Amino acid sequence: MHLKVDNLNNRYIINTFYYKKNRGSIEGLYTCIWDRDKSGPFASQFTEFGDSLRDEAKRSGLLRFAFDNYFIRQVIVKKTAASLLAAEDYTSDTRGSNNALEPVRLPV
């Protein structure tokens, strides 16, 4: 889960990847925009990831596992109240005797 404070619009932006079942694969992104002045939700939405996006995001393996190692790293709020989300794949690969984390950027 990632929380971003939007001081310009007096809102909180909450983003998280969601699962439809326990121990399942990531199905998509849930976003809730909380209005600080009204003390209630301004908007909320579930966005399910399609196969074309999963294909761009995966390194190898099945499409349904494409986002299982992704983490939300940054949310940028624009003056127009729009926001950008950056997520990275933190999968470790073993090459020789070297263990390293290799971030992969999700195409925008």
**Structure token digits, residue 54:** 């999963």
Which structural domain range is residue 60 located in? Answer: 2-105
Position 100 scores a pLDDT of 53
- Identify the pLDDT of residue 14: 96
Dihedral sign, Cα of residue 23, residue 29, residue 35, residue 41: negative
pLDDT at 61: 82
Specify the number of domains making up the chain. Answer: 1
The bridge status of strand 70-77 relative to strand 83-95 is antiparallel
What distance in Å separates the CA atoms of residue 17 and residue 88, rounded to the nearest whole number?
Answer: 12
The average pLDDT across 44-66 equals 90
The total number of residues shown for the chain amounts to 108
Determine the Cα–Cα distance for residues 13 and 74; give it in Å rounded to an integer: 12
Q: What is the tens place of the pLDDT at every residue in 72-107?
A: 999 999 888 889 999 998 876 656 555 555 566 666
What is the spatial distance between Cα 103 and Cα 93, in angstroms, rounded to a whole number?
Answer: 11
Query: How much is the pLDDT for 102?
Result: 57
- Residue 31, pLDDT score: 95
C-alpha span between 31 and 16 (Å, rounded): 7
Q: Which pLDDT does position 42 carry in this prediction?
A: 95
User: What's the pTM value of the predicted model, to 2 decimals?
Assistant: 0.76
Q: What is the pLDDT of residues 7-53, one digit of tens each?
A: 999 999 999 999 988 888 999 999 999 999 999 999 999 999 999 99
pLDDT at res. 101: 56
